[in-house]
Amino acid sequence: MRLPLHTHERLTLGLLCSVPLLLARVTAEVEDVFGGVDQVAFQPSPAESSSTTRPTLRDQAAAFLSRQQTYPDGASEPRLVGTSTVPNSTFSLWYRRPAEDDNVEREGLVIGNGPMQVLVPGMVNRERLLLSEESCWTGGPNEYKKYRGGNVDEESAPKRLKSLERVQHILAEKAYLPSKSDVTKGLMGDEHGFGHPAPFGSIVIEEMYPFEQVWDYRRELDLSKGVVKVSFSVGDVNYTREHFCSNPESVCMMRIQASEPKKVDISVRFETPYAAEYSNVHNRLTFRASLPSNNMTIEAQVALKTEGGTGVTMSDKTRIIALGFDSVTLYYAMGTGWSVANYPGFQDQDPHDHLTSLLDKATTLWYQDQYIKHTEDVGALFKGFSIDFNQPVNTLPTDQLIKVATKAYAKEGQTFDQEAYLELLLLQYARYLLIISSRPGSLPIASRIAWTDDTLKDEDGIGDYFRLNINLQMNYWLAESTNLGETMTPLMDYIEKLLVDRGQATTMLHYNARGWIAHTYSNVWAHTGPTSTSNSYYFPGAAAWLCQHAWDRYLYSQDYYFLRDHAYAWLKGASQFWIDTLVQSHKGAVPTPIDDDDAGLFVSSPSYSPEQDPFAEGSALDQQLIWQLFNATLEAIAVLGERDKVFVQNLTDRYARLSPGLAISDGLLQEYTLAGLEDRTERRRHLGHLYAVYPGNQLSYQRTEDPDRHHQLVEAARTSLHRKGTGVEFGNLGWPKVWRAAVWARLGETGKALDALQMFKKHNLDKNELNLLPASSSSSRDLAGFLGFGAAMLETLVTSLRPGELHVFPWPQGLPERWSKKGVVEGFRTREGHKVDVIWSQGRVTQVQLQALSKAGPMVVKIGTMDGKVQVQVLQGTKPVAFERDGTFIKLEVSKGTTYTIALDYD
């Protein structure tokens, strides 16, 4: 159930009715109440004593307060007239109208600094900033005393192990067990206390003299700056409001400014769905509440800083009114009692002092300096990668842009100039979302949008905000290659601080094994045990999947100490679990492995292919994940060395005798390595068995080892992907289409990849023409598709499958003209962190520049359009560099710190 629309009005009245009572008490404590000393706490005003308007303003403010309602009866949003200019920014979301108040979750523009996110609707007379803080979650040990991250307790562990043995035993005899059978249900976990993100509240800013009509309204989110700007004019006065959340300062700001003096007249207050305590000290409003479910403290503070000597501020416990200023700046911050340092008990840690000191500090600094510092911080990350199709300058507001750019679907084959811009905007918007949601010190960017207005959302059932069987990982697909390695830190910290320790208990209690694992779902409370969600409760492969990102983090950063002191322990632990639990599939027994060669090889048991049924030994996804994990762990050992010789021996042995999870039957790549289990007809959204193609790279490894086998596998993957359909089944979400696009791109079917991306735009954008956010129905509030879109797109243009390899226009045939006719990529990163710039025109790559930032070594560069003369030069050098050429491949040795220019001549 959703709260009825405009609930805030009712809430507000409720709060305001109690104001007179509160006032009596507050007056004694707070000097600012009712016309106390106004700006003193902030900027002393030279004109204060000579002000003549002041008494009048004070009377007005008092009148507003005593009406017990800040917002005049009957006032509503103004009529919008005129047409604003087009913003001067390359990538922005912008509109000529505000979001609807009851649709802020869908239409608001999002700003953030890692832990805090704010949706800005851009309303004029009554603006309502929807606050969210990533750790504001229900559940955990303070809600459910016995919460252990889904693990059983020690007394129940033997029983649990018996269930496991029974399942394994049956699977060794008999091919499979349905996931809903009584035996397999014994593997389900406890979801008690899992929780879900909870709403925080809002800050409401009201115009004290509401406008009836405003001119040239515009709201804009400039992605390269991370600033939302709302502007309009009334008569001769231009109003602007700037919003951003600063990562360097850990606070959010809103500056309200008029082009004429004394024209800012506003009231500011909080709204929160909880029973809250309000206070006000020196024009700083605070609300504190405890979440009803788990008693977690939440607090928000907002401080006002005013400019312009003649204004007055008046306030009571819940509101501040500022009248007659030139500008007003709001500084605000939110916090909760959650702290990663308090794992596993998560004792509440009062955020009050921390928030107070953040705001104390921020309010002493100059806004302009803070603005510059913030835009430089976002800009440095955002501009680290750029891509351009020489598309025309966008002049359309985003809502119209989406309409126009997706009209192409009406007529097959027709394209619009705007389409290329929209695609680039999606790619850059994903990078922006990573920058504002995933910064060192914060939690990872959640799979599901947590920006919510609704206390009752997802009340039953666990939230899949950290869903570890594709979604959380897909959120980060774009990060490394587009030079946003810094945004990976939260995912790495999450593994280290919230999963590894608890995951060790999971392997011990549930499997009697060493190492660590996680299952499909996790949360802020370190959930690593299985859940009881049918069809997805069981998935011990999650840890291996996360480890792929840890190994990639090392590859892209070449940070030896990160590998030695952090990631290696996770890789080793995740590998140890599989060394201890893999079983040998036996030849001649029922079930028979599809591939004769698989008999006697090691497989996981039990195993479950996500969203498929049944349980069986060795699902393709498990085997491919384990292959990728063992491969990375061995590679890491080659870098670091390992004294534990037994471990090395066990790992090498298992890697050599691991079933690779690449069984072919009837020309199809199978989801299970055993015969007779594949449901060949059903279209499903999950592509577990194609992990080896993307995001893994096992299939490409086969290319070098055994080209014939590689060819067979590619064909089988292709056929099987066809059978899987377009991904519109089961909720019609974005991520299945984007995953398809990425797999098609790796298989060399650029055209099919494009089709899948078109499907995404058609189904997952058009319901929501106002923003580049998923539609609001709860089943489709999944960010993964949005964040992965650009990665799939880039896969068709420039990609690095593994260290030492770079592919540019790998399969140019299927590229659409709007992408290939002319363009530039700058700042792409290879899998060893080299920087790559590419220039192309008329469908052909003309120059590739490779800056070997991190290490020396051989590089193989494939340029799909290469057919004439090729020259390689050191930048600014004149001597040609030696290289070998083989068709569209060239091979050269790079030295660290040198930039190589590969120039292609087609005449």
Ligand X SMILES: *[C@@H]1O[C@H](CO)[C@@H](O)[C@H](O)[C@H]1NC(C)=O
Decide if 302 contacts 330 (C-beta within 8 A): yes
Q: How far apart are CA 743 and CA 685, in angstroms?
A: 13
Q: How far is the CB of 763 from ligand X (least distance, A)?
A: 34
Among 802, 822, 855, 862, binds ligand X (CB under 6 A): 802
Q: How far apart are CA 341 and CA 345, in angstroms?
A: 10
Task: Kindly identify the residues of this chain, within the stretch 74-113, that bind ligand X according to CB under 6 A.
Answer: 88
352 binds ligand X (CB under 6 A): no
* Stretch touching ligand X by CB under 6 A, among 95-103, 454-462, 483-491, 644-652: 644-652
Q: How far apart are CA 468 and CA 448, in angstroms?
A: 12
Nearer to ligand X, 234 or 890 (CB): 234
**Pick from 206, 324, 191: which is nearest to 262 by CA?**
324
Nearer to ligand X, 709 or 762 (CB): 709
Among 297, 584, 592, 841, binds ligand X (CB under 6 A): 297
Nearer to ligand X, 390 or 649 (CB): 649
Q: How far is the CB of 833 from ligand X (least distance, A)?
A: 17
What does each C-alpha distance from 547 to 265, 510, 636 come to in angstroms? Answer: 54, 21, 12
Decide if 492 contacts 757 (C-beta within 8 A): no
Quickly tell me which residue has 């600014």 as its tokens. Answer: 876
Among 301, 398, 631, 899, binds ligand X (CB under 6 A): 631
Among 11, 340, 396, 634, binds ligand X (CB under 6 A): 634
* Stretch touching ligand X by CB under 6 A, among 3-11, 303-311, 631-639, 709-717: 631-639
332 binds ligand X (CB under 6 A): no
- Please work out the total of residues on this chain that contact ligand X, with binding judged by CB under 6 A: 19
Quickly tell me which residue has 């069809």 as its tokens. Answer: 535
* Stretch touching ligand X by CB under 6 A, among 25-33, 509-517, 645-653, 725-733: 645-653
Task: Kindly identify the residues of this chain, within the stretch 227-246, that bind ligand X according to CB under 6 A.
Answer: 233, 238
What does each C-alpha distance from 526 to 188, 340, 412 come to in angstroms? Answer: 17, 9, 48
* Stretch touching ligand X by CB under 6 A, among 181-189, 422-430, 642-650, 728-736: 642-650
In angstroms, the first-to-last Cα distance of the chain is 66
HSE (side-chain half, CA atoms, 13 Å) at 895: 6
Nearer to ligand X, 10 or 586 (CB): 586
295 binds ligand X (CB under 6 A): yes
What does each C-alpha distance from 296 to 113, 142, 335, 336, 462 come to in angstroms? Answer: 22, 8, 10, 7, 18
Nearer to ligand X, 359 or 579 (CB): 579
DSSP assignment, residue 813?
A: G
Q: How far is the CB of 701 from ligand X (least distance, A)?
A: 4
Q: How far is the CB of 319 from ligand X (least distance, A)?
A: 25
Among 322, 579, 663, 850, binds ligand X (CB under 6 A): 579
Q: Can you list the pairs that 594-597 forms with residues at least 24 positions away whose Cβ atoms lie under 8 Å?
A: 594/663, 594/664, 594/665, 594/670, 594/673, 594/674, 594/675, 595/659, 595/663, 595/664, 595/673
Q: How far is the CB of 307 from ligand X (least distance, A)?
A: 16
Nearer to ligand X, 262 or 683 (CB): 262
Pairing of strands 805-808, 857-863: parallel
Among 43, 66, 649, 895, binds ligand X (CB under 6 A): 649
Task: Kindly identify the residues of this chain, within the stretch 383-442, that bind ligand X according to CB under 6 A.
Answer: none
Helix (H, G, I), strand (E, B) or coil at 387: strand
Q: How far apart are CA 796 and CA 782, in angstroms?
A: 24
Query: Binding string, 245-264, against ligand X, x = CB under 6 A?
Result: --------------x-----
701 binds ligand X (CB under 6 A): yes
841 binds ligand X (CB under 6 A): no
Quickly tell me which residue has 């459910």 as its tokens. Answer: 144
650 binds ligand X (CB under 6 A): yes
Among 454, 486, 611, 635, binds ligand X (CB under 6 A): 635
Interacting residues with ligand X (CB under 6 A):
88, 233, 238, 259, 290, 295, 297, 348, 579-580, 631, 634-635, 646, 649-650, 697, 701, 802
